[in-house]
A and B are shown apart, each in its own frame.
Chain A
Amino acid sequence: MSICGSAAWARPAPTHPQPTHGRHTPVVFLYVIEFARNVRLWFAPEVVRQEGTTPDYRFSLANERTFLAWLRTALALIGGGFAVDQFLPDLRWGWRVGLALALLAAGVLCSLRAVNHWMRCERAMRRGEDLPVSRFPALLSVVVAVVAVAMVLVVLVGWEG
Chain B
Amino acid sequence: MRFNFKYIILVALTVVVASCKKDTKEAPKASFKGRLVYNGTPINVEQNQVPVELYQSGFGKRGAIVGNVTQDGAFSFLLFNGDYKLIIPGVQGPFRWNQTGATRDSLSVNISGDKTIDLEVTPYYLINDVKYSVSGRAVTAAFSVNKIITDANARDIERVTLYVNKTQFVSSNGDENVANNGIAGSAVTGTVNLTATVPALTPSQGYVFARVGLKIAGVDDMIYSPLQKISL
A binds B: no
Give the interface of B toward A (CB within 8 A): none
